[in-house]
Amino acid sequence: MSAKYSFRDLAKEANGVILIPCIYDCGSARAAELSGAKATLLSGGELGESLGVLEPMLTVDEVVHQVERICAFSPLPCMVDVGAGFDTPVNAYFTAKRMVRAGAMALLLGNERGQSWKDYEPILKATIKACEGTDCIVVCRNNDATETQEQLDYVIDFLNKGIDLGAETTMACGLCRCDDQNNKARYLGQRVKGWKVYPDQNSINGVPDVDNDVLWENGFKMVSYHYMMKVALNAMWRYGIENEQNRNNVASNDVEFPNGLKGHSALGCMPFQQYFDLEGDFTGVYRKHRIPGFKAGRENG
Protein backbone atom coordinates (compact mmCIF):
# COMPACT_ATOMS: atom_id res chain seq x y z
CA MET A 1 0.00 0.00 0.00
CA SER A 2 1.07 3.61 -0.42
CA ALA A 3 1.86 5.72 2.63
CA LYS A 4 -1.19 7.56 3.93
CA TYR A 5 0.77 10.81 4.19
CA SER A 6 4.22 12.23 3.55
CA PHE A 7 7.09 13.48 5.68
CA ARG A 8 6.20 16.96 4.41
CA ASP A 9 2.74 16.49 5.93
CA LEU A 10 4.22 15.28 9.22
CA ALA A 11 6.64 18.19 9.47
CA LYS A 12 3.91 20.71 8.68
CA GLU A 13 1.44 19.33 11.21
CA ALA A 14 3.86 18.41 14.02
CA ASN A 15 3.15 19.97 17.41
CA GLY A 16 6.00 18.18 19.16
CA VAL A 17 8.97 15.99 18.36
CA ILE A 18 7.94 12.93 16.33
CA LEU A 19 9.71 9.70 17.28
CA ILE A 20 10.75 7.58 14.29
CA PRO A 21 11.73 3.98 15.13
CA CYS A 22 14.38 2.24 13.03
CA ILE A 23 13.01 -0.87 11.32
CA TYR A 24 14.44 -3.63 9.16
CA ASP A 25 11.52 -5.65 7.70
CA CYS A 26 7.72 -5.87 7.42
CA GLY A 27 7.37 -7.37 10.90
CA SER A 28 9.18 -4.48 12.55
CA ALA A 29 7.20 -2.03 10.38
CA ARG A 30 3.98 -3.65 11.63
CA ALA A 31 5.16 -3.40 15.23
CA ALA A 32 5.87 0.29 14.72
CA GLU A 33 2.40 0.84 13.27
CA LEU A 34 0.66 -1.05 16.09
CA SER A 35 2.59 0.89 18.73
CA GLY A 36 1.42 4.24 17.35
CA ALA A 37 4.47 5.41 15.38
CA LYS A 38 3.74 7.96 12.67
CA ALA A 39 6.70 7.06 10.43
CA THR A 40 9.58 4.61 10.19
CA LEU A 41 13.23 4.64 9.20
CA LEU A 42 14.68 1.65 7.37
CA SER A 43 18.06 1.39 9.09
CA GLY A 44 20.97 0.28 6.93
CA GLY A 45 22.66 -1.15 10.00
CA GLU A 46 19.67 -3.18 11.17
CA LEU A 47 18.83 -4.31 7.64
CA GLY A 48 22.39 -5.60 7.31
CA GLU A 49 22.14 -7.35 10.69
CA SER A 50 18.87 -9.01 9.66
CA LEU A 51 20.60 -10.39 6.54
CA GLY A 52 23.77 -11.41 8.37
CA VAL A 53 26.11 -8.82 6.84
CA LEU A 54 27.67 -5.48 7.70
CA GLU A 55 25.87 -2.44 6.29
CA PRO A 56 28.61 -1.67 3.67
CA MET A 57 28.13 -5.21 2.32
CA LEU A 58 24.49 -4.56 1.34
CA THR A 59 23.74 -4.43 -2.38
CA VAL A 60 21.41 -2.02 -4.13
CA ASP A 61 19.04 -4.84 -5.01
CA GLU A 62 18.83 -6.03 -1.40
CA VAL A 63 17.91 -2.56 -0.15
CA VAL A 64 15.42 -1.81 -2.94
CA HIS A 65 13.76 -5.20 -2.46
CA GLN A 66 13.22 -4.49 1.23
CA VAL A 67 11.91 -0.98 0.48
CA GLU A 68 9.42 -2.46 -2.00
CA ARG A 69 8.20 -5.02 0.52
CA ILE A 70 7.89 -2.61 3.44
CA CYS A 71 6.26 0.22 1.49
CA ALA A 72 3.75 -2.16 -0.15
CA PHE A 73 2.85 -3.55 3.28
CA SER A 74 2.91 -0.62 5.70
CA PRO A 75 0.77 2.56 5.59
CA LEU A 76 3.48 4.55 7.41
CA PRO A 77 5.86 6.76 5.41
CA CYS A 78 9.30 5.19 5.36
CA MET A 79 12.60 7.09 5.40
CA VAL A 80 15.40 5.00 3.88
CA ASP A 81 18.99 5.12 5.09
CA VAL A 82 20.78 4.99 1.74
CA GLY A 83 24.38 4.14 0.99
CA ALA A 84 24.56 1.28 -1.50
CA GLY A 85 24.36 2.62 -5.05
CA PHE A 86 25.09 6.21 -4.13
CA ASP A 87 28.84 6.15 -4.76
CA THR A 88 28.76 8.27 -7.94
CA PRO A 89 26.30 10.95 -9.10
CA VAL A 90 24.92 8.86 -11.96
CA ASN A 91 24.50 5.80 -9.74
CA ALA A 92 22.88 8.01 -7.10
CA TYR A 93 20.39 9.40 -9.60
CA PHE A 94 19.21 6.05 -10.91
CA THR A 95 19.27 4.34 -7.51
CA ALA A 96 17.22 7.17 -6.00
CA LYS A 97 14.72 6.76 -8.84
CA ARG A 98 14.40 3.08 -7.91
CA MET A 99 13.90 3.95 -4.24
CA VAL A 100 11.13 6.41 -5.13
CA ARG A 101 9.38 3.87 -7.37
CA ALA A 102 9.65 1.34 -4.53
CA GLY A 103 7.73 3.71 -2.24
CA ALA A 104 10.39 5.49 -0.17
CA MET A 105 9.10 8.79 1.22
CA ALA A 106 12.49 10.15 2.33
CA LEU A 107 16.09 9.35 1.44
CA LEU A 108 18.62 9.83 4.23
CA LEU A 109 21.82 10.55 2.31
CA GLY A 110 24.96 10.70 4.42
CA ASN A 111 28.53 11.55 3.57
CA GLU A 112 31.21 9.05 4.42
CA ARG A 113 33.06 10.22 7.53
CA GLY A 114 35.68 12.64 6.29
CA GLN A 115 34.12 12.96 2.82
CA SER A 116 34.36 16.61 1.83
CA TRP A 117 31.46 18.77 0.71
CA LYS A 118 33.09 18.95 -2.73
CA ASP A 119 32.81 15.18 -3.16
CA TYR A 120 29.38 14.91 -1.52
CA GLU A 121 27.72 17.81 -3.37
CA PRO A 122 27.27 16.17 -6.81
CA ILE A 123 25.82 13.03 -5.22
CA LEU A 124 23.36 15.09 -3.19
CA LYS A 125 22.50 17.13 -6.28
CA ALA A 126 21.76 13.96 -8.28
CA THR A 127 19.61 12.53 -5.48
CA ILE A 128 17.58 15.72 -5.18
CA LYS A 129 17.07 15.77 -8.95
CA ALA A 130 15.79 12.19 -8.90
CA CYS A 131 13.17 13.10 -6.28
CA GLU A 132 11.85 16.22 -7.99
CA GLY A 133 8.10 16.22 -8.51
CA THR A 134 7.52 13.38 -6.03
CA ASP A 135 6.47 13.13 -2.38
CA CYS A 136 9.92 11.76 -1.50
CA ILE A 137 12.19 14.24 0.28
CA VAL A 138 15.97 14.21 0.64
CA VAL A 139 17.64 14.48 4.04
CA CYS A 140 21.15 15.92 3.96
CA ARG A 141 23.03 13.91 6.59
CA ASN A 142 26.51 14.65 7.87
CA ASN A 143 28.41 11.90 9.70
CA ASP A 144 31.40 13.92 10.92
CA ALA A 145 32.26 14.48 14.58
CA THR A 146 30.86 17.42 16.55
CA GLU A 147 33.10 17.23 19.62
CA THR A 148 34.97 20.53 19.16
CA GLN A 149 33.60 23.95 18.28
CA GLU A 150 35.50 23.84 15.00
CA GLN A 151 33.96 20.48 14.10
CA LEU A 152 30.48 21.65 15.06
CA ASP A 153 30.76 24.80 12.95
CA TYR A 154 32.01 22.74 9.99
CA VAL A 155 28.97 20.44 10.23
CA ILE A 156 26.62 23.43 10.44
CA ASP A 157 28.14 24.93 7.30
CA PHE A 158 27.91 21.55 5.54
CA LEU A 159 24.21 21.11 6.38
CA ASN A 160 23.31 24.66 5.37
CA LYS A 161 24.93 24.05 2.00
CA GLY A 162 22.72 20.99 1.66
CA ILE A 163 19.60 23.05 2.36
CA ASP A 164 20.72 25.71 -0.13
CA LEU A 165 21.16 22.97 -2.74
CA GLY A 166 17.61 21.73 -2.26
CA ALA A 167 17.55 19.18 0.58
CA GLU A 168 14.38 19.62 2.63
CA THR A 169 15.83 18.77 6.01
CA THR A 170 19.07 17.71 7.70
CA MET A 171 20.62 15.32 10.20
CA ALA A 172 23.92 15.76 12.07
CA CYS A 173 24.90 12.24 13.15
CA GLY A 174 27.80 13.51 15.23
CA LEU A 175 25.34 14.86 17.80
CA CYS A 176 24.51 11.39 19.12
CA ARG A 177 28.19 10.56 19.61
CA CYS A 178 29.36 13.69 21.40
CA ASP A 179 29.15 15.00 24.96
CA ASP A 180 26.75 17.71 26.11
CA GLN A 181 24.12 16.87 23.47
CA ASN A 182 21.53 19.35 24.74
CA ASN A 183 23.75 22.40 24.35
CA LYS A 184 25.22 21.24 21.06
CA ALA A 185 21.78 20.43 19.67
CA ARG A 186 20.63 23.88 20.76
CA TYR A 187 23.64 25.57 19.13
CA LEU A 188 23.28 23.63 15.88
CA GLY A 189 19.50 23.91 15.80
CA GLN A 190 19.62 27.70 15.97
CA ARG A 191 22.13 27.92 13.11
CA VAL A 192 21.06 25.29 10.60
CA LYS A 193 18.26 26.41 8.29
CA GLY A 194 14.87 24.73 8.23
CA TRP A 195 13.60 21.84 10.32
CA LYS A 196 15.88 19.04 11.43
CA VAL A 197 15.98 15.34 12.34
CA TYR A 198 17.91 14.34 15.47
CA PRO A 199 19.91 11.11 15.04
CA ASP A 200 19.57 7.95 17.13
CA GLN A 201 18.46 9.29 20.50
CA ASN A 202 20.02 7.21 23.26
CA SER A 203 20.02 7.09 27.07
CA ILE A 204 22.58 7.12 29.86
CA ASN A 205 21.81 5.54 33.25
CA GLY A 206 18.09 5.56 32.54
CA VAL A 207 17.97 9.17 31.33
CA PRO A 208 17.61 10.29 27.67
CA ASP A 209 20.86 11.80 26.43
CA VAL A 210 18.99 14.73 24.93
CA ASP A 211 15.76 16.44 25.98
CA ASN A 212 12.94 16.40 23.43
CA ASP A 213 11.74 19.83 24.58
CA VAL A 214 15.17 21.27 23.83
CA LEU A 215 15.06 19.66 20.41
CA TRP A 216 11.59 20.96 19.61
CA GLU A 217 12.40 24.48 20.73
CA ASN A 218 15.40 24.53 18.41
CA GLY A 219 13.88 23.29 15.17
CA PHE A 220 14.12 19.52 15.48
CA LYS A 221 10.80 18.01 14.43
CA MET A 222 11.77 14.33 14.31
CA VAL A 223 14.00 11.97 16.27
CA SER A 224 15.21 8.56 15.11
CA TYR A 225 15.92 5.81 17.60
CA HIS A 226 16.88 2.12 17.63
CA TYR A 227 15.20 -0.65 19.61
CA MET A 228 13.57 -3.09 17.19
CA MET A 229 16.42 -5.51 16.49
CA LYS A 230 17.64 -5.37 20.09
CA VAL A 231 14.36 -6.26 21.77
CA ALA A 232 13.46 -8.83 19.10
CA LEU A 233 16.74 -10.70 19.56
CA ASN A 234 16.50 -10.28 23.33
CA ALA A 235 13.06 -11.89 23.44
CA MET A 236 13.99 -14.72 21.07
CA TRP A 237 17.12 -15.44 23.06
CA ARG A 238 15.40 -15.35 26.47
CA TYR A 239 12.41 -17.47 25.46
CA GLY A 240 14.65 -19.79 23.50
CA ILE A 241 16.65 -20.49 26.64
CA GLU A 242 13.47 -21.12 28.64
CA ASN A 243 11.98 -23.37 25.95
CA GLU A 244 15.19 -25.38 25.75
CA GLN A 245 15.29 -25.79 29.52
CA ASN A 246 11.62 -26.84 29.65
CA ARG A 247 11.90 -29.01 26.51
CA ASN A 248 8.69 -27.45 25.19
CA ASN A 249 7.39 -24.09 23.98
CA VAL A 250 4.93 -23.33 26.79
CA ALA A 251 6.89 -20.29 27.99
CA SER A 252 6.85 -18.52 24.64
CA ASN A 253 3.41 -19.82 23.69
CA ASP A 254 1.84 -18.26 26.79
CA VAL A 255 3.17 -14.80 25.96
CA GLU A 256 0.36 -12.38 25.13
CA PHE A 257 0.59 -9.55 22.63
CA PRO A 258 -0.56 -6.14 23.90
CA ASN A 259 -3.94 -6.74 22.23
CA GLY A 260 -4.46 -9.88 24.36
CA LEU A 261 -3.87 -12.39 21.58
CA LYS A 262 -1.47 -15.27 22.03
CA GLY A 263 -0.49 -18.48 20.33
CA HIS A 264 2.55 -19.97 18.65
CA SER A 265 2.87 -17.49 15.77
CA ALA A 266 2.73 -13.76 15.02
CA LEU A 267 -0.12 -14.09 12.52
CA GLY A 268 -2.54 -12.54 14.98
CA CYS A 269 -0.73 -9.24 14.56
CA MET A 270 -0.71 -9.27 10.77
CA PRO A 271 -3.45 -7.64 8.63
CA PHE A 272 -3.68 -10.59 6.25
CA GLN A 273 -7.49 -10.76 6.07
CA GLN A 274 -7.19 -8.08 3.40
CA TYR A 275 -5.61 -10.61 1.04
CA PHE A 276 -8.43 -13.11 1.53
CA ASP A 277 -10.95 -10.31 0.95
CA LEU A 278 -9.16 -9.33 -2.26
CA GLU A 279 -9.19 -12.95 -3.41
CA GLY A 280 -12.93 -13.03 -2.72
CA ASP A 281 -13.43 -10.00 -4.96
CA PHE A 282 -11.96 -12.06 -7.80
CA THR A 283 -13.52 -15.46 -7.04
CA GLY A 284 -16.76 -14.56 -5.27
CA VAL A 285 -15.77 -16.88 -2.44
CA TYR A 286 -14.83 -15.10 0.77
CA ARG A 287 -12.78 -16.94 3.36
CA LYS A 288 -11.89 -16.17 6.94
CA HIS A 289 -8.18 -15.91 7.65
CA ARG A 290 -7.44 -18.74 10.09
CA ILE A 291 -4.91 -17.85 12.77
CA PRO A 292 -3.27 -20.98 14.20
CA GLY A 293 -2.91 -21.17 17.94
CA PHE A 294 -6.03 -19.28 19.03
CA LYS A 295 -8.57 -22.05 19.48
CA ALA A 296 -10.02 -21.73 22.97
CA GLY A 297 -8.28 -24.13 25.29
CA ARG A 298 -5.75 -25.05 22.63
CA GLU A 299 -3.51 -22.02 22.40
CA ASN A 300 -0.87 -24.20 20.73
CA GLY A 301 -3.11 -24.71 17.69
> 167-217: per-residue pLDDT in tens?
999 999 999 998 899 999 999 999 999 999 999 999 989 999 999 999 999
Global pTM value: 0.93
Supply φ then ψ for residue 78, to 5 degrees: -115, 125
The domains of the chain are located at 7-229, 256-287
- In degrees and rounded to multiples of 5, residue 50 shows phi and psi of -70, -25
Give pLDDT tens digits for 48-93.
Answer: 999 999 999 999 999 999 999 999 999 999 999 998 889 999 999 9
Contact 49, 22 (CB under 8 A): no
Q: Flag whether pLDDT at 253 surpasses 90.
A: no
Q: Which CATH number fits domain 7-229: 1.10.3720.10, 3.10.150.10, 3.20.20.60, 3.90.110.10?
A: 3.20.20.60
What gap in Å lies between CA 58 and CA 87, rounded to an integer?
A: 13
